[in-house]
Amino acid sequence: TPAIRDLTSAGLATTDHPLLGATVDLAQGDSAVFTSSLSLRTHPWLADHTIANRALLPGTAFVDLALHAGLHLGCDRLTDLTLATPLAVPEQGSVQLQVTVAQEGASGERIVTIHSRPEGFESPWTAHATGLLAPAEEGSDAPATGLEAWPPHGAATVDVGALYADFAAQGYAYGPAFQGLRAAWQADGHVYAEVELASDVDVNGFGVHPALLDAALHTLALDATTSGHSGDEVKLPYSWSGIRLYATGATAARVRLTPTSETTATVTLSDATGQPLLEIDVLTLRSVDAKQLNASAGSDRDGRLFVLDWTEMSPVEETTETVVSDLRIFAAGPDTGEFNAVGSNTSVFAAMPPLDLELPLPERVFTATAHTLRVVRDWLSDDSASGAPLVVVTRGAVSVAPENDIDLVHAPLWGLLRSAQSEHPHRFLLVDVDDDPASLAALPSAVTTAVARQEPQLALRAGAPLVPRLVRHDAGAPTQESATASRTASATTFRPDGTVLITGGTGAFGARIARHLVSAHGVRHLLLVSRSGPDTEPATALRLELTGLGAEVVVAACDAADRDGLAALVSAIPADRPLSAVVHAAGVLDDGTLAQLTPEQLRGVQRPKADAAWHLHELTRDLELDAFILVSAGAATLGTAGQGNYAAANTFLDALAAHRRHHGLPGISLAWGFLAQDAGMTGHLDERDRARLARNGAVPLSVERALELFDAALAQAAPAHLLPLAMDSARPLLHGLVRKRRAVTMAVAGRPSGSASGAEGQGLAELPPEARLTRLTELVTTLVAAVLGHVDSQQLDPGRTFSELGFDSLTAVELRNQLGAATGLQLSSTLVFDYPTQQALAAYLSTRFAETATVRPSAHTQLQDTEPIAVVGMACRYPGGVTTPDDLWELLQGGRDAISDFPDNRGWDLDSLYDPVPGTRGSSYVREGGFLHDAGQFDPSLFGMSPQEALATDPQQRLLLETAWETFERAGIDPRSLRGSQTGVFAGVMYSDYAARLLPDTPEGFEGQIGNGSAPSIASGRVSYAFGLEGPAVTVDTACSSSLVALHLACQSLRSGESSLALAGGVTVMASPSTYVEFSQQRGLAPDGRCKPFAAGADGTGWSEGVG
């Protein structure tokens, strides 16, 4: 079949397991990988296994997947299987599933692992299960089950009539496919049962169908030992040992389940004659909080818990030519003398002065941060420092493992400098070293690799380079903290007789937390601390509200940064309701770019955040606290531009939580993202601010979802630092933390200040002065409009100053960064203030190009064959009203039919065209297909065409022009910036019947235009001409594979260096019904106009149109 041929051509083999799509045996060792895609659309029966309002892949499915993989490689036994994380199947979309089997040793045992990730190829994989497979034991026969006599003699009947209603009340919503328990009995410490699948459940391909085995496990609820249920917790299978499969294809089974403890049992399944089906020596259950499941099942844009994970940096390919010729160091941690042995190309630009250890820690934090701010400004103002980045070296300022303590004084530098990296891309590289001499010795090579791989942050531990990655922290996933049997890394509960102190407790988010602790966690005693005190209207209303919910509330006026005042409050808490938990939610904003930030702004933001947190730590570290919760901000990790002081203060909170954990104290820092609330720290943001944040990947996190994530973080043994975020991981704010596939190998160690790299810069450098100024004016105007959120740049008066247009320091930084990326020039942070209008700025940029002798790099940089090609933009038109890639995905996801009647706007003789009798001359026995009913719509002025020329041009060429423009826009590329670049165009075009409509009676004035307008060979050239592209222009006609071949040629062109960027795709519009008539004569059309690929009922082809 075509499906098998497609898999075979990709080096894959089919598999008959219903949850798996394909497999490949690996060349080295007896290993294999199985892969598939799961969704509620393709496997609707999975929706019948809903736990805590989430459709979960049942644990029994992991067992069957592992058994199937083992049998493929001759391993009949599943020695053990441990489930680390539940797999939530999304309501919309799908998840990719991967099962890997690798040889473990000479004994024949193999390790099996099961991973998943959301649809798409950019999301990280989540590990769900790990197990061990083994060959069958020699001479092992199927054992006697003891289930031949049925029901067992002397067994007492157990009523199961209300069982599934009871399950639903406890959070287990089993649908018909999983309601398989039919009868049950008890005798001598065993539970016996009959289970049967619904008649419409297909068992083909399964070992034991997951729903049948899951129903067998429902008998656990019938025994008092294993049926315990607590609050919001649900019990799920955690590990399985000694699993042996004896027969397949069962639709019903007898079950014997023997509880051996509150969380373990043995299980035996047999057929109706007592012959064995499956045995499980030990099944282990564990409790999972429903909040954890909810948190782990959301999408990145809805909000999830993330953790910063430090992983080993990959080496650079040997062909990379990166060399860092001069290592400029800011010695923020190690002494200056330690760099003498690092290398001759290393020089210390600045050093951190010795700090007075007699000073209180908050004062030392401020001194170090303020000095770093001065160094950053000196570096940015040094004209000789515009090449390679300043390498900032700290020691112990980041925690890469929970067993390591952290330097609280220097940790905030990372927050400040992450913001500096956002404001000034490529100007700073952060490196943290440990005490091992090998780490400093490895600095030059590590920096070289980091620059080549565009890694802005680095930690060296025993000489090994580690880089940070933002990864999902899913429910039940093992953490290094949870591996220790420590009170400080356990789930958080609040004592009913304890007092919870909340700083910032009457603020917008602090008040939300207070309400939530009372209503959801049963907290009854609150001490709300705020500078404004109890006499304000919001504080009074909050106190009355919380009192009405049953809590006793004290609102106290106190500056949390005042240690004495805070100490007095803590000591005054009554002994009968002792302080049991701290939530530090106080804080202020005083934003400004690094060029504007003052030491007073640093101190003003540090005091209520960092100073207050340290005071709380000191005042409570000898108390038996249930929780010490620090409300931090994602800006500390993500480095939000314009918030260097805020990022530094919150990084201190993140470090303090790790410090407390290291010393055996409870502590967790929750670094929140952009909260969608109308008050508090994000309440002042207007639409322009929110649009700027969205462009950088910050998606608003609803307060309701934020509180769900708050609960999830406290309901588990979580790391000390978690980030509850909603985010668009494709956006630049997350560059370096959420890694993407790269299109080319980066091989520059820092471009010179005057160079013009990139297609736009190279083209501008070669233009005559007048043309260059015109182009730069267009570029500036376009980017100004984008930064300000205007759809049409024509709305902007080029003579008005940037301040009159609404620019502030943050939009100024964003414009400077975009111009730098577009032109390849290093630009000053004061650019828009030095050149305050669009005209003045364009003139300055033109002067920079005129004064700079640009060395144009070779356009033919050959890529390695293994280097992936990145898809950076897409556009399309397809039947069913599809005009965007999002529309296409919605059509596919919804399973909608895009086939329609013949178009009535093309002049076809519809009355005589259709004849249901195949073979009738000049007719079609089909009258439906996939059509672009508005294919004739076109704006010729956008492409400089007259209406007459447009009418003489095949709609296929017009559609290619429009979608090419949209593709550039969706990629964030100004189409005009590509003029003169080595951008190739590769188009698949198979129809050429448009000219036939015009040639018999050519309208006056159309002569000389029809040929070019309808020839497929012209299609790709027309696109190149319209955009001024100077790469290859190739039109391909290989019938139905035309677009695929065009894509193949585009990849080859990129790899050979022939093209620096490529447009690849195809277009199909049927100007006449001739194809229908021709294939009707051949009896090659599906009578209903619909293809049925890979189906037994396939009865012909169906024709369709589109462009993409």
Q: What is the pLDDT of residues 837-882, one digit of tens each?
A: 888 888 888 888 876 534 343 334 444 454 567 787 899 999 999 9
pTM: 0.58
Q: What mean pLDDT comes out for the span 286-310?
A: 65
For residues 798 and 839, the answer to whether their CB atoms sit within 8 Å is yes
Instruction: Look at residue 207 in the predicted model and tell me its pLDDT.
Output: 92
Residues of the chain with CATH 3.10.129.110: 7-134
Q: Which of 181-190, 470-479, 959-968 has the lowest mean pLDDT?
A: 470-479
Q: Which residue has the higher pLDDT, 81 or 804?
A: 81
Rounded to whole angstroms, the Cα distance separating 560 from 564 reads 9
Q: Give the three-state DSSP class for 207.
A: coil
CATH 3.30.420.40 fits 885-1107, yes or no: no
* Residue 436 C-alpha from the chain's centroid: 35
Q: What confidence tens digit (pLDDT) does each residue in 120-168 have?
A: 655 667 888 888 998 877 656 678 888 888 888 888 999 988 888 888 8
Write out the two tokens for 1046: 């065009």
**Rounded mean pLDDT, 579-600:** 91
3-state SS, residue 690:
helix
Nearest to 743 by CA among 860, 859, 867, 865: 867
DSSP string, 970-1038: HTT--GGGGTTS-EEEEEEE----SHHHHGGGPPTT-TTTHHHHH-HHHHHHHHHHHHT--S-EEEE--
Q: How far apart are CA 69 and CA 24, in angstroms?
A: 11
Among 386-390, 568-572, 969-973, which range has the highest average pLDDT?
568-572
524 contact partners, CB below 8 Å, separation of at least 6: 496, 497, 518, 550, 551, 552
Residue 1108 Cα distances to 271, 959, 987, angstroms: 54, 9, 10
Domain 499-734 in CATH 3.40.50.720: yes
- In angstroms, the CA 574 to CA 1102 distance is 80
Res 995: pLDDT = 66
Please state the φ and ψ torsions of residue 857, each to the nearest 5 degrees.
-70, 155
C-alpha span between 509 and 546 (Å, rounded)? 15
Nearest by Cα to 112 from 69, 60, 57: 69
Separation between Cα atoms, residue 779 and residue 328, nearest integer Å: 34
Torsion, Cα 331 335 340 345, to 10 degrees, reads: 0
pLDDT (average), residues 171-189: 90
Distance CA 260, CA 434 (A): 48
Read off the pLDDT of residues 31-83 as tens digits, 9 standing for 90 and up.
889 999 898 888 999 999 988 778 889 999 999 999 999 888 888 889 999 88
Burial (Cβ within 10 Å: 0-12, 13-18, ≥19) of residue 455 = buried
Strand pairing report for 499-503 and 701-702: unpaired
Both tokens of 582, joined, read 């701290």
At residue 64, the pLDDT reads 95
pLDDT band at 365 (very low <50, low <70, confident <90, very high): very high
Chain centroid to Cα 1069, Å, comes to 37
With 0-12 / 13-18 / 19 or more C-beta atoms within 10 angstroms meaning exposed / middle / buried, residue 773 is buried
Amino acid at 950: A
DSSP state of 920: -
> What are 838's two structure tokens?
């669009």
pLDDT for position 618 = 97
Q: By mean pLDDT, which of 227-236, 340-349, 783-792 is the weakest?
A: 227-236
Which burial class, exposed, middle or buried, applies to 5 when counting CB atoms under 10 A from its CB (0-12, 13-18, 19+)? exposed
Contact 585, 513 (CB under 8 A): yes
Mean pLDDT of 963-980: 83
Nearest Cα residue to 495 out of 458, 521, 531: 521
How far is C-alpha 990 from the geometric centre of its chain's CA atoms? 38
Sequence-distant (≥ 6) Cβ neighbours of residue 265 within 8 angstroms: 220, 226, 257, 258, 259, 282, 283
Q: Which of 542, 508, 509 is nearest to 526 (CA)?
A: 542
Q: What is the CATH number assigned to the segment(s) 7-134?
A: 3.10.129.110
pLDDT in tens, 543-586: 999 999 999 999 999 999 999 999 999 999 999 999 999 999 99
Q: Would you state the structure tokens that stand for residue 528, as one six-digit string?
A: 């709300």
Q: Which of 73-77, 214-218, 726-730, 997-1001 has the lowest mean pLDDT?
A: 726-730
106: nearest Cα among 67, 135, 126: 135
Pairing status of strand 22-25 against strand 32-38:
antiparallel
CATH 1.10.1200.10 range(s) for the chain read: 759-854
Instruction: Give the H/E segment covering residue 482.
Output: none
CB neighbourhood size of 358 (10 A): 7
What is the fold, at CATH topology level, of the domain defined by 759-854?
A: 1.10.1200
Quote the pLDDT of residue 985: 93
Say whether pLDDT at 602 is over 70: yes
CA distance 459 to 468: 8
User: What is the reported pLDDT for 6?
Assistant: 52
Look up residue 1044 and give its amino acid.
L
Do strands 928-929 and 900-901 pair parallel, antiparallel, or not at all (unpaired)?
antiparallel
Residue 732: the pLDDT is 37
How far is CA 791 from each of CA 153, 622, 796, 802, 969, rounded to the nearest angstrom? 80, 58, 11, 17, 12
Among 601-605, 977-981, 1006-1010, where is mean pLDDT lowest? 1006-1010
pLDDT score at 707: 87
Q: Which CATH class is domain 307-315+324-472?
A: alpha beta
CATH 3.40.47.10, the chain: domain bounds: 885-1107
As annotated, the residues of the chain forming the CATH 3.40.50.11460 domain(s) are: 307-315+324-472
> Residues in the chain, how many?
1108
**Position 753 pLDDT exceeds 60:** no
For the chain, the average pLDDT equals 81
Dist. CA 18–CA 11, nearest whole Å? 20
Decide if pLDDT at 300 tops 70: no
What was the pLDDT predicted at 647?
94
Residue 186, beta-bridge partner list? 156, 191
47's CB contacts (< 8 A; 6+ apart) are 40, 55, 89, 175
Q: What pLDDT sits at residue 858?
A: 39
Q: What is the mean pLDDT of residues 175-190?
A: 91
Which residue is associated with the tokens 């890997």? 100
Q: Check residues 276 and 30 and name the one with the higher pLDDT.
A: 276
Residue 386 has pLDDT above 70, yes or no: no
Q: Looking at residues 1018-1039, what average pLDDT do you find? A: 88
Q: Using CA atoms, how far apart are residues 630 and 527, in angstroms rounded to an integer?
A: 16
Classify strands 900-901 and 721-725 as parallel, antiparallel or unpaired. unpaired
* Predicted local confidence at residue 744, as pLDDT: 26
Q: What percent of the chain has pLDDT over 90?
A: 34
CATH 3.40.50.720 region(s) of the chain? 499-734
**Sequence-ordered list of residues with C-beta below 8 angstroms from that of 338, at least 6 positions apart, any chain:** 331, 440
Tell me the CATH architecture of domain 156-291.
Roll (3.10)
Name the token pair of 1056.
């050979």
The DSSP code for 666 is -
Whether residue 953 is predicted with pLDDT greater than 80 in this model: the reply is yes
Is the per-residue pLDDT at 613 higher than 80?
Answer: yes
Burial class of residue 462 (count of CB atoms within 10 Å of its CB; 0-12, 13-18, 19+)? exposed
The residue type of 351 is: A
